[in-house]
Structure 1
């Protein structure tokens, strides 16, 4: 991440509020988080945007965290037609049916215990790593798990924000057109 303004960051800074809000909602579905990020525009650097994201994540209430988690599909079941979800869960692609079945079973047990999906920053993670993490984390208490989820959401937001501000305009336009086509 460079310390200077990228074309993507300049585009984000100059976006009309509805477009910037929509872009931030794709990063994190918590309106409180998005509002905190919007309120500090313009950002002089991507590093400052990421720092603002971290600070906003630290301030989210349990209800805000629930809203943020609601935007994430279960591990092993990316949202159909969602390129972000598929890209982030790429590590599941080569998983055996046995591993997928065990992960599904643990996902359901985790959701029953905590009331929300198992959330992990899956970018670059293997299916085996994610299975190991859910096995470990299902033993946590609710408060400990909430803070782990906050950390994992922060990692995901950083990756998504970096992509948002570093992606060339043509790639963003192509992705938006593809997303609009899949909604039709």
Structure 2
């Protein structure tokens, strides 16, 4: 969709489009209030400003809208509205060895047990091996440090999804 088309959407449809980019309803509602926007750059800038103004519970809500890295069943069942984007973002997982997939699954389990939310990484352009390496490097982080890293990764994902929204 083009930016003029996005600007013309009724509020409920605009919110439906925005939630495919970021699952935080506070973010979606804040973003819906800024429309119409003048340019893609102003949209991306406001998306980031809004994201960084949120609190941890808002960030966690956005994280809940993601499938676990490498979890194909999760992609299919839970995230039908973003599954095409998520599977494309995680395309590096499709060629992974069984061992790497098992290691990702176990790493996800350990990560979620430690931090209370799924492992969030901007997976675009990364192989499964790279994602596993990133996951393992972040497991020792403190919860205070990790939430900020995950939040930054979500910000990257949101920008990529906004870009995809504007070309879909």
TM-score range, shorter chain: over 0.9
Q: Which has the larger radius of gyration?
A: 1
How many angstroms does 1:91 deviate by? 0.7
- Which deviates the most, 41-50 or 75-84? 75-84
Please say if residues 9 and 166 of structure 1, whose CA atoms lie closer than 8 Å, have aligned partners that are also in contact. no
Alignment match, 1:120: 121
Number of residue equivalences = 161
Q: Distance in 1 between matches of 2:89 and 2:71?
A: 11
TM-score, scaled to structure 2 = 0.93
Deviation beyond 2 Å, 4+ runs, structure 1: none
What is the alpha-carbon root mean square deviation over aligned residues? 1.0
How many angstroms does 1:166 deviate by? 2.5
Structure 1 residue matching 2:125: 3-state secondary structure: coil
Q: Distance in 1 between matches of 2:153 and 2:94?
A: 21
Q: String of CA shifts for 1:100-145, please: whole Å, max 9, x gaps.
A: 1011111000000000000001111111110010001011001111
Match of 1:71 among 65, 69, 72: 65
Runs of at least 5 residues in structure 2 that lack an aligned partner in the other structure: none
1:96 is the counterpart of 2:90: no
Alignment match, 1:132: 133
TM-score, scaled to structure 1 = 0.85
Runs of at least 5 residues in structure 1 that lack an aligned partner in the other structure: 1-6, 168-184
Q: What aligned pairs does 1:30-41 form with structure 2 within 5 A after superposition?
A: 30-41=24-35
